[in-house]
């Protein structure tokens, strides 16, 4: 694949604490709305809290599954203002998208106080297409795929305290196309690219009593450093440039506590802080000067000034019989984007997330489960002069519906 700059696809799609970040990477985590940090008990412990591996049975654990993600259309009713004197009708809707997201987790048997595990996940991504109207100039196609490999280890400090951590190997590839043919802007861009980046994660769990878990996890900031080529077009004539851009994938902190009653019923409360304030602006550098008319849309630094976000989650687990476990969850998810910087690529807003699921034990070693998540976005309206991109009108729809199925085995 020709390596090119991902532009705002990297800066927007991947960095989703709200709209399209996917923290749920297993059946249990999906069913609990990601309120699954303090109380974890399967192979997915390797991803959500590696410190908890120290408290698992002296067996090996494995889980594999698939998530189907359905992204409904974003609807917009309003106008696009390129200036005070140039305003165009822009009512439109984006295309419906359907994605498949695999996950794989493994926890090895303990080696004294140490234990290791690994996960293969798709922790983020987006496909957004506006195939007509003013939006086509900004996001004709806007796609990002992300795969993360996360090897981890834990150490049991004492019977009630353990620590863990690991490395994050992130591969991403994306496409961003924009075409002004249906507008008064005779410019176009066609881009695709990939990158490999690295980070780390840390975890700790304290169990003051046998029925209470207190946990903290941290995923590091990762600067996504893109170097490649950008193809920019004016009046149908294209030029290729060496180009580079750096954007942050900000750090995230989770604090969680769980309480279990009668070894059957568990409630977990989770607080997540995502440090989006590291994302100040989007600034591109080119190996040679680009055409003057393209400087404003493609070269001038674009202020972002995102804010840190808070997400609150609650998860409920009930082992109603030796074979059947029921789960449900709720989360209030905050968008990091000020309305001043909303764009068609990411018309993000706060969301309410509702989840439920179940797991069935086929025998003492094999289990399978299903989970469903509904992400309901809040509608919002941008008044004249409120948005730097000249968007005036109401966004509605969007959100996501996710269905996960997985099989787990311990041996």
CATH for 110: 2.40.160.60
Query: Is residue 52 helix, strand or coil?
Result: helix
- Amino acid 125: pLDDT: 66
Place of tokens 């599954």: 65
Query: Is residue 294 helix, strand or coil?
Result: helix
Residues contacting residue 19 through CB under 8 Å, at least 6 positions apart: 126, 335, 346, 348, 349, 351, 375, 377, 398, 399, 400
Query: Is residue 18 helix, strand or coil?
Result: coil
- Amino acid 21: pLDDT: 58
Other CB atoms within 10 Å distance of the CB of residue 244:
15
Place of tokens 């080529």: 229
pTM score, whole prediction: 0.89
- What are 301-326's pLDDT values in tens digits? 888 888 999 999 999 999 999 999 99
What is the token pair recorded at 95?
Answer: 């295309």
Q: Is residue 2 domain-resident?
A: no
167 touches 187 (CB < 8 A): no
Q: Is residue 3 domain-resident?
A: no
Q: Is residue 249 domain-resident?
A: yes
Q: Does residue 2 have a pLDDT over 50?
A: no
Q: Is 140 exposed, middle or buried (0-12, 13-18, 19+ CB in 10 A)?
A: buried
188 against 10, higher pLDDT: 188
Q: How many residues does the chain have?
A: 411
Place of tokens 């180009």: 243
**Average pLDDT of the chain?**
89
Place of tokens 């309120």: 35
Domain interval for residue 136: 8-410
- What are 140-159's pLDDT values in tens digits? 887 777 789 999 999 999 99
Instruction: Quote the number of domains for the chain.
Output: 1
* Measured CA distances, 370 to 46, 58, 331, 359, 374 (Å): 20, 26, 19, 7, 14
152 touches 50 (CB < 8 A): yes
- Amino acid 410: pLDDT: 96
- What are 273-294's pLDDT values in tens digits? 999 888 888 787 888 888 888 8
- What are 91-139's pLDDT values in tens digits? 999 999 888 889 999 999 999 999 999 999 987 666 789 999 999 988 8
Q: Is 151 exposed, middle or buried (0-12, 13-18, 19+ CB in 10 A)?
A: middle
Closest CA to 35 of 319, 327, 249: 327
Q: For residue 13, what pLDDT band results from cuts at 50, 70 and 90?
A: very low
- What are 246-264's pLDDT values in tens digits? 777 788 999 999 999 999 9
- Amino acid 192: pLDDT: 75
DSSP 160-218: TEEEEEEEEEEEEEEEEEEE-TTSS--EEEEEEEEEEEEEEEEEEEEEEETTEEEEEEE
Q: Does residue 357 have a pLDDT over 70?
A: yes
- Amino acid 374: pLDDT: 95
Report d(CA 30, CA 119) in Å as an integer: 16
- Amino acid 176: pLDDT: 76
Report d(CA 281, CA 348) in Å as an integer: 17
**Percent of all residues in the chain with a pLDDT value above 90, rounded to a whole number:** 62
Mean pLDDT to the nearest integer, 29-54: 96
DSSP 68-116: EEEEPPEEEEEEEESSSS-EEE--EEPPPEEEEEEEEEEEPPPBTTEEE
DSSP 276-288: GGG--EE--EESS
Rounded to 10 degrees, what is the CA torsion of 391, 396, 397, 400? 70
Q: Does residue 328 have a pLDDT over 80?
A: yes
Q: Is residue 1 domain-resident?
A: no
- Amino acid 26: pLDDT: 94
What is the token pair recorded at 197?
Answer: 């980046």
- Amino acid 3: pLDDT: 45
- What are 52-76's pLDDT values in tens digits? 999 999 999 999 999 998 989 999 9
Mean pLDDT to the nearest integer, 223-229: 78
Q: Is residue 104 domain-resident?
A: yes
- What are 207-222's pLDDT values in tens digits? 999 999 999 999 998 8
Q: Is residue 73 domain-resident?
A: yes
Query: Is residue 173 helix, strand or coil?
Result: strand
- Amino acid 6: pLDDT: 41
- In eight-state DSSP terms, residue 246 is E
Q: Measure the CA angle with vertex 191, ends 186 and 194; round to 5°.
A: 165
């Amino acid at each position: 694949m020709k390596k090119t700059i991902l532009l705002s696809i990297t800066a927007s799609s991947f960095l989703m604490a709200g709209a399209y970040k996917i923290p749920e990477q297993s059946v249990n985590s999906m069913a609990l709305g990601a309120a699954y940090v303090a109380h974890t008990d399967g192979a997915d412990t390797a991803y959500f809290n590696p410190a908890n591996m120290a408290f698992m049975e002296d067996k090996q654990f494995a889980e594999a599954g698939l998530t189907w993600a359905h992204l409904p259309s974003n609807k917009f009713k309003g106008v696009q203002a390129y200036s005070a004197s140039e305003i165009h009708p822009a009512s439109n809707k984006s295309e419906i998208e359907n994605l498949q997201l695999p996950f794989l987790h493994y926890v090895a048997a303990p080696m004294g106080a140490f234990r290791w595990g690994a996960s293969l996940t798709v922790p983020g991504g987006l496909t957004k297409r506006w195939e007509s109207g003013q939006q086509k100039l900004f996001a004709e196609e806007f796609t990002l795929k992300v795969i993360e490999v996360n090897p981890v280890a834990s150490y049991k400090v004492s019977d009630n305290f353990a620590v863990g951590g690991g490395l994050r190997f992130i591969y991403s590839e994306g496409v961003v196309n924009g075409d002004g043919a249906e507008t008064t802007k005779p410019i176009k861009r066609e881009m695709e690219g990939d990158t490999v980046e690295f980070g780390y994660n840390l975890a700790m769990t304290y169990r003051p009593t046998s029925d209470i878990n207190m946990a903290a996890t941290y995923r590091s900031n990762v600067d996504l450093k893109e170097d490649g080529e950008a193809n920019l077009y004016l009046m149908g004539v294209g030029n290729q440039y060496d180009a580079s851009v750096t954007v942050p994938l900000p750090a995230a902190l989770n604090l969680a506590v769980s309480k279990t009653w009668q070894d059957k019923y568990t409630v977990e409360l989770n607080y997540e802080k995502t440090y989006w304030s590291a994302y100040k602006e989007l600034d591109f550098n080119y190996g040679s000067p680009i055409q003057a008319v393209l400087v404003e849309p493609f070269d001038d630094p674009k202020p972002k000034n995102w804010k840190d976000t808070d997400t609150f989650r609650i998860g409920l687990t009930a082992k109603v019989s030796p074979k059947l476990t029921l789960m449900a969850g709720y989360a209030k998810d905050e968008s990091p984007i000020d309305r001043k910087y909303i764009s068609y690529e990411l018309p993000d807003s706060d969301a309410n997330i509702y989840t439920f699921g179940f797991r069935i034990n086929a025998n003492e070693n094999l289990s399978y489960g299903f989970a469903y998540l509904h992400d309901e976005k809040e509608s919002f309206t941008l008044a004249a002069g409120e948005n730097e991109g000249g968007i005036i009108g109401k966004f509605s729809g969007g959100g996501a519906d996710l269905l996960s199925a997985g099989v787990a085995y311990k041996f």
